[in-house]
């Protein structure tokens, strides 16, 4: 997981534990601490200095929840660390039951929060437009059912009063054009997904679809 973090790839689950990459040809280290997880790799390039991106992604997918795995793969694709050929390698190395995840990937996601929110919206049966450009407003994370703007706000990119004023003025511009804006907090998306899920569900029930 630390290797993916070094590349800037988003990882949701299991980032705190110790994950050790070991060549599958090594017979030793079969018994390890219960606090560490060993991943048996096909290859480790450059001696033991780093882990191959494909092997790192295979390990990350298997160590995370489904939503975390999709967000990690989205991140690697968005950062252009892998292309279609590497993605083929990842899924060839994964158990067959996990190959269905590929149909849910979207390289347009600019953050882990956006990946996770997209999955929530699709779960609700919404019509979701990703990274939609709206005249007079700018590009928004999501446009749902043609009227609901959803932005995924994190402390890193939305801290400070200057940025908050900019966000609120954008929301005002959107409201003037008839859009409703909901700003979901990244922390809730990660660790309390029921909160943004219920918020969006409430908006969809309160406002007739246009």
Kind and range of the H or E run holding 166? helix 161-176
Mean pLDDT of the chain: 86
- pLDDT at res. 122: 96
CATH architecture of 112-206: 3-Layer(aba) Sandwich (3.40)
- pLDDT at res. 47: 46
- Which DSSP symbol is given to 126? -
- Give tens-digit pLDDT for 41-85: 555 555 444 579 999 999 999 999 999 999 999 999 999 999 999
Domain boundaries, the chain: 2-104, 112-206
Instruction: Look at the block and give the residue holding tokens 């939305």.
Output: 158
- How confident is the prediction along the chain (210 residues), in pLDDT tens digits per residue? 778 988 999 999 765 555 555 555 555 555 555 555 555 555 555 544 457 999 999 999 999 999 999 999 999 999 999 999 999 999 999 999 999 999 999 999 999 999 999 999 999 999 999 999 999 999 999 999 999 999 998 866 656 778 889 999 999 999 999 999 999 999 999 999 999 999 999 999 998 665
3-class DSSP assignment, residue 91: helix
- pLDDT at res. 23: 57
**Residue 52 vs residues 55, 106, 209: alpha-carbon distances, Å:** 5, 22, 47
């Amino acid at each position: 997981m630390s290797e993916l973090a070094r590349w800037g790839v988003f990882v949701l689950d299991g980032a705190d534990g110790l994950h050790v990459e070991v060549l599958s040809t090594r017979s030793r280290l079969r018994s390890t601490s219960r606090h560490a997880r060993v991943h048996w790799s096909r290859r480790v390039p450059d001696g033991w200095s780093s882990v191959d991106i494909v092997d790192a992604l295979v390990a990350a997918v298997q160590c995370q929840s489904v939503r975390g795995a999709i967000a990690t793969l989205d991140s690697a694709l968005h950062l252009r660390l892998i292309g279609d050929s590497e993605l083929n390698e990842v899924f060839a190395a994964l158990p067959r039951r996990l190959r269905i995840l590929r149909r849910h990937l979207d390289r347009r996601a600019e953050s882990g929060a956006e990946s996770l929110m997209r999955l929530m919206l699709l779960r609700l049966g919404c019509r979701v437009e990703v990274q939609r450009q709206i005249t007079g407003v700018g590009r928004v994370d999501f446009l749902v059912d043609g009227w609901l703007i959803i932005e995924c706000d994190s402390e890193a990119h939305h801290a400070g009063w200057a940025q908050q004023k900019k966000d609120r003025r954008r929301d005002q511009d959107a409201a003037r054009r008839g859009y409703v804006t909901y700003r979901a907090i990244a922390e809730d998306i990660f660790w309390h997904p029921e909160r943004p899920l219920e918020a969006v569900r409430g908006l969809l029930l309160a406002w007739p679809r246009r």
